[in-house]
Structure 1
């Protein structure tokens, strides 16, 4: 079984695009398992990851495609958290969301995505915000 860590933030369109990128992997329905991760940097209301819209929408898309999912929440620096959870869960791949950038900024990803790409010891899949 191929295990993907899907790191999502609050952005609904990006979370759905990331889920769709995983759904589009060959043989995803039969052999892929996804751990959804949301890392809180500030959570004064005490929300849990399943209450985050991006997490719910990604989970719904994956489950509609019959892909096994579970949800993990953490707090702290998002890039460090993603890398720690990937290591702890021994995932095969990390999926992060890319952001739209100006022409000058296209060479750079968001700071979290860029940090994960440059530091990860496993493949990183970057999905944009485009929707089907």
Structure 2
């Protein structure tokens, strides 16, 4: 069994691209378990990971294609929490979706994807939403 931590935010398009990437992997329906993870920074509504649109779209897609999945949620800063989630769930790989930012934007706002890549020894696959280079 191969375990993939899928770091999801609230963007449905990015989540859909992540799902498609995992579904296209050899043995997806038989050998992969995806861990659908979201890190809440602010959650005044008290929502759970299962209530997020992106997560629901991925779960529905995985249901249709027979890919096993679990849910994982945490609170705090996304990059360190995703790395901790990968450790805690014994993930073999991490799947993230980057967003297009200028170099200045990365300096000012940081990059979760870059921080995860630099902060883990696990393989990290990054995907771009349809239409983004």
Normalised to the residue count of structure 2, the TM-score between the two structures is 0.89
What is aligned with 2:74? 74
What is aligned with 1:119? 119
Structure 1: gaps spanning 5 or more residues: none
1:99-110 alignment to 2 at 5 Å? 99-101=99-101
Structure 2: gaps spanning 5 or more residues: none
- 1:91 deviation in Å? 0.6
What is aligned with 1:8? 8
Normalised to the residue count of structure 1, the TM-score between the two structures is 0.90
- 1:101 deviation in Å? 3.9
Is the 8 Å Cα contact of residues 10 and 52 (structure 1) preserved in structure 2?
yes
Give distance in 1, aligned partners of 2:18 and 2:112.
15
What SS does the corresponding residue of 1:74 show, helix, strand or coil?
Answer: strand
Superposed CA RMSD? 1.8
- 1:27 deviation in Å? 1.6
How many residue pairs are counted as aligned between the two chains? 128
Give distance in 1, aligned partners of 2:126 and 2:64.
22
Structure 1 residue runs of 4 or more that deviate by more than 3 Å after TM superposition: none
What is aligned with 1:41? 41
Is the 8 Å Cα contact of residues 34 and 70 (structure 1) preserved in structure 2?
yes
- 1:85 deviation in Å? 0.7
Deviations 1:18-77 (A, max 9, x none): 011100111211111111001100001111111110111111111211000111111000
Is the 8 Å Cα contact of residues 100 and 129 (structure 1) preserved in structure 2?
no
Give distance in 1, aligned partners of 2:64 and 2:76.
31
Give distance in 2, aligned partners of 1:5 and 1:54.
15
Deviations 1:99-118 (A, max 9, x none): 1345x67x99x610110011
